[in-house]
Chains A and B, each alone.
Chain A
Amino acid sequence: MNRFDAYLYQILNGTYLHKQEKVAWIEEMQSHLEDSVQHYRVAGLSDEQAHQRALASFGTAKELRQQIIRETFVISPKWYLIVGVLCFISLGVALFTNMRFDDSVVTIGNPATWEPIPTPQWVVWLHQHFPLNPARWATLGTMSFMMVFTRKQTDRLAVLISWIPFSVSLLPSSVSLPLGSDGIRQVIFSALPIIQPVSIGATCEYGIIFALGIALYIWTRNRIISLTPWMISITLTVAPFLWSLMQETLWEQTRNPIFRGLAPVSWGYLWSAISSVIVHLIGAVLLLFMCKRVESSSIRLRKLI
Chain B
Amino acid sequence: MRNERLRGYLDVILLSILLEGDSYGYDIAQQVSDQTHGALAIKEGSLYPALKRLEANRFIEGYWGTDKDSGPRRRYYRITDRGKSHLRKLQEEWNAEQRLLSVFFDKVVPE
Contact = CB atoms under 8 A, between A and B. Distances in A.
Interface of A: 11, 24-25, 27-29, 31-32, 34-36, 57-59, 63-64, 67-68, 70-72, 151-152
B74 A29 contact: no
Contact of A57 (B44, B48, B53): B44
A70 B73 CA distance: 27
A76 B92 CA distance: 32
Contact of A152 (B43, B57, B72, B74): B57
A59 B46 contact: yes
B9 interface: no
Interface residues on chain B, size class: 10 to 19
Contact of B45 (A34, A35, A64, A70): A64
B43 A32 contact: no
A31 B74 contact: yes
Tell me what chain B mostly uses at the interface: helix, strand, loop, or mixed.
helix
B8 interface: no
Interface string B34-66: 000000000111101110110011000000000
A64 B57 CA distance: 20
A11 B53 CA distance: 17
Contacts of A31: 24-26, 72-75
Nearest to A21: B52
A68 B43 CA distance: 13
A64 B43 contact: yes
A58 B49 CA distance: 12
Contact of B49 (A35, A36, A72): A72
Nearest to B47: A32
Given A31-B26, A152-B57, A71 B43 contact: no
Contacts of A67: 45-46, 49
A64 B46 contact: yes
A35 B43 contact: no
Nearest to A55: B45
A68 B74 CA distance: 20
B45 A36 contact: no
B56 A152 contact: yes
Contacts of A71: 49-50, 52-53
A229 B46 CA distance: 35
Contacts of A68: 48-49, 52
Contact of A25 (B48, B57, B72): B48
A63 B52 contact: no
Contacts of A72: 49, 52-53, 56
Given A28-B25, A72-B53, A152-B57, A58 B43 contact: yes
27 contacts: A25-B52, A27-B73, A27-B75, A28-B48, A28-B74, A28-B75, A29-B45, A32-B45, A34-B72, A35-B26, A36-B44, A58-B43, A59-B44, A59-B45, A59-B46, A63-B43, A63-B46, A64-B43, A64-B45, A67-B49, A68-B52, A71-B50, A71-B53, A72-B52, A72-B56, A151-B56, A152-B57
Contacts of A25: 48, 52
